[in-house]
Amino acid sequence: MSDNKIIDLQKAKDERTPHLSGKARCLTCHYDFVAVMPVGCQTVTCSKCGHDAHMLGEVVTNGDQWRCTSCRWFLFRVDRHSIYCPKCGQYQRGF
């Protein structure tokens, strides 16, 4: 007995594309919702009225999230040496 499986190539490609998520607000109807869209997109379609919506603030990608190797903080700064944790000052190594 064969296992006939239909693969949606576009869906498989979309699932491998890096995405981000965060809160978004529609500029037309002011509806707030959680949006998921490819990394680099500036707008997303409002799920209520279909017009453009924009992210409200910080976004998170669907990749593994790096945490400070010393204090486990998750936001970083970059200077001319490397990436460092603004909470404890530890330069980050190993990613």
List interacting residues with Zn ion (CB under 5 A). Answer: 26, 28-29, 31, 46, 48-49, 51, 68, 70-71, 73, 85, 87-88, 90
Q: How many CB atoms lie within 10 A of CB 22?
A: 16
Q: Give the C-alpha separation, 67 to 79, whole Å.
A: 18
Least Å distance, CB 73 to Zn ion, is 4
Least Å distance, CB 51 to Zn ion, is 5
Least Å distance, CB 78 to Zn ion, is 14
Identify whether the C-beta of residue 19 lies closer than 8 Å to the C-beta of residue 37. yes
